[in-house]
Structure 1
């Protein structure tokens, strides 16, 4: 055991204690400090863990949380990074938070940012990678979807013994051969019907011959039972399959996976994919279906993922949005709401959000106009862009109120006409809003 490892770990843990005790925050700084003192600290901290890594564009946080719930049913406490701090300094902070293992092997389920994966696998050897999806996101940082996938592959190849559990409905995950063994999960819930993806869909070119892919079933965006009519490229065989969809509401979904019925207490097709990925991990580790059913039914909302927050007499559903595909899935989920609602849209453009906000023009805000939304609030650093986008979408200017600060947003929400409010916010806007809500005593322990 090296003195440098011990010193760096002790300094990181002490800084964490200071931040949590006196400043009520600090999810990544302890890791940043420990890394500065010992760049190989992660190798030391993670050596006694069976590590599962979850990566991809959308769904990492909820998929990670569901995997943790499932594995805890069978194996006891699981280490994870629940605040979404998924870059390398956040991962180090997660291990600094861990209780002592006493030599016993335990699970760590880590959400890892696509661009950070190659840095993490320099020191951690995961035994399972879970790929959720890849969509256009933060192009100023990631580039096109093929660049993003290459970042992931660069990280994965450093752990060649690890199995890849990938979304088989996503063509990009079947586009490049890997040293790592691969298994797939996906949807098989409908009879085949010949169809094409929407014209404004990324990632639908065959990687072999560049022909436009055809589909026999589409769930959303470019996900589904794809094949190339010009060569032999097609969706791979699925090891884990969703075979039926039950009732879907804006707050829950029922479905059947490998002959077993499950339900989750969040709405949206995109969240069913997250549950499918988590269930596939459970089956991979031989967790009994009844235990997985209990884990998925556990009604605890994850940070910024359909959290319901009471502000005054309003029930506010807070949802993270960060790219066009994710936004459109959120709007489809909202479409299922059986009640009237008001809308709050908070748009920031910091590094963690992506500084380019042009993605809001590819989101289908126009679909919101089918609802009678009496009032809309816009906020965040790029609130004027958000206001303009909503006006172009067809929301009347006299319904939109633009507010300069999050304190003003919070103060105005109780004045809205409807009992229900949807708050759609980018990542740093979620953090800032939750911090303000915590400071005002509305949210308990809300800012990690």
Structure 2
């Protein structure tokens, strides 16, 4: 190890200790500092790790957490980036936290931003990639879905011997050949039924001949058992299959994967996909079903993913939303709730959220008008846009309140008419809200993502 690398590691670790000790945060800055000193520091930090990379539009954070929980049942050391710091500097910060132990197989399960993957794989050699899905997201950063897919395929090509485990229900993952070998996971839990995707769905044109895809089964959006009646393009054979949905509500799900029954303590079909993806990784590493079951049942809510926070007796469920498909799945999950709830919807438009907020007009907020929600609060930097969208969705004005300031939002939550509250927020709004809640003592740490 050269002097420059040693200095970079020392500077990064020192800044990490200061930020965590005195400021209760700082997940990316130490990595940013270390990279400035030594741009190739990952070469050293990531050496000797079995690295699993998780990327895609939705589900990265929870899929990563579930995968880590499972692998920790089998292996002693599993490093990860739990705060969602998934760009290059965040990855460096993650490796700076590692405690070196000799004689153990060392895993690193890393959530990596789609646009950052090719930069990260310049310096690390993953042994396995996991692709969750590709949907329209932050158009100002990623562009259309095929542009995003090309970004992650090119990133994976830097480690061509590493297999890609990908969502077989997504047509885009079968659209082009890759240097990397591929394995597929997906759903086979319903009888076949000829159907088309909803008219407001992206990615339903055949990537080979551009005719409209047909489906024998749809889970949501454009995911399912697809085929093209014109050219014969179709879903590949699945290596890992979910064959039965035993039960699903707004807080949990039970299901069968490859003849083994599992459960998770979060609700919604989109989270079952996350569990299926994590199970596919576990099966790749030949983890036994009982250890997979223990890992999936680990009930620790991940940052902003159905995280429960109590505010003066109000049980608030905080959910990150960032694009139409993810939002619609969250709304579908909320519709399963057997109780009445109030709604808080926080919209920011910073770089990490995506500056373009037009995506909210593709979200099915109209479902909320059918749920008789007694009180709705619109807030965040773009509170006016959020208020307008909710009005157009059919939320009566007498039930809708616009509150720009997050401190005032927290105050208003205390007097909401229901004991249950759903808070939907974009990424930086989640960070800001958690920071305010931490300063008021409702949670520990703000996870400021700095």
Matching residue of 1:244? 244
Matching residue of 2:447? 447
Deviation of 1:445 (Å): 2.7
Say yes or no: does 1:286 pair with 2:282. Answer: no
Say yes or no: does 1:342 pair with 2:364. Answer: no
Matching residue of 1:101? 101
Aligned counterparts, 1:344-359, within 5 A: 344-359=344-359
Q: Matched residues in 2 for 1:314 and 1:222: separation?
A: 36
Aligned counterparts, 1:51-200, within 5 A: 51-102=51-102, 104-200=104-200
Conservation of the 8 A alpha-carbon contact between 2:435 and 2:445: no
Deviation of 1:431 (Å): 0.4
Matching residue of 1:333? 333
Conservation of the 8 A alpha-carbon contact between 2:76 and 2:104: no
Q: Matched residues in 2 for 1:316 and 1:446: separation?
A: 16
Q: Matched residues in 2 for 1:47 and 1:105: separation?
A: 12
Aligned counterparts, 1:261-272, within 5 A: 261-272=261-272
Once the two structures are superposed, residues 324-359 of structure 1 have per-residue CA deviations (whole angstroms, 9 ceiling, x without a partner) of 000000000000000000000000000000000000
Matching residue of 1:433? 433
Matching residue of 2:406? 406
Paired residues, number: 448
Secondary structure of 2:392 counterpart: helix
Higher mean C-alpha deviation, range 213-222 or range 14-23: 14-23
Secondary structure of 2:73 counterpart: helix
Secondary structure of 1:422 counterpart: strand
Secondary structure of 2:316 counterpart: strand
Deviation of 1:135 (Å): 0.3
Q: Matched residues in 2 for 1:397 and 1:151: separation?
A: 43
Matching residue of 1:393? 393
Q: Matched residues in 1 for 2:236 and 2:4: separation?
A: 47
Deviation of 1:154 (Å): 1.3
Say yes or no: does 1:3 pair with 2:3. Answer: yes
Conservation of the 8 A alpha-carbon contact between 2:77 and 2:105: no
Conservation of the 8 A alpha-carbon contact between 1:48 and 1:103: no
Matching residue of 2:365? 365
Secondary structure of 1:201 counterpart: coil
Matching residue of 1:297? 297
Conservation of the 8 A alpha-carbon contact between 1:206 and 1:233: yes
Secondary structure of 1:75 counterpart: coil
Q: Matched residues in 2 for 1:291 and 1:104: separation?
A: 19
Conservation of the 8 A alpha-carbon contact between 2:75 and 2:105: no
Q: Matched residues in 2 for 1:237 and 1:277: separation?
A: 16
Conservation of the 8 A alpha-carbon contact between 2:304 and 2:319: yes
Q: Normalization by structure 1: what TM-score?
A: 0.99
Say yes or no: does 1:324 pair with 2:299. Answer: no
Deviation of 1:103 (Å): 5.9
Q: Matched residues in 1 for 2:127 and 2:231: separation?
A: 34
Deviation of 1:404 (Å): 2.0
Q: Matched residues in 1 for 2:35 and 2:444: separation?
A: 30
Matching residue of 1:306? 306
Matching residue of 1:24? 24
Deviation of 1:447 (Å): 2.2
Alignment RMSD (CA, Å): 0.8
Deviation of 1:189 (Å): 0.6
Secondary structure of 1:303 counterpart: coil
Matching residue of 2:380? 380
Q: Matched residues in 2 for 1:48 and 1:55: separation?
A: 21
Deviation of 1:190 (Å): 1.0
Runs (5+) with no aligned partner, structure 2: none
Runs (5+) with no aligned partner, structure 1: none
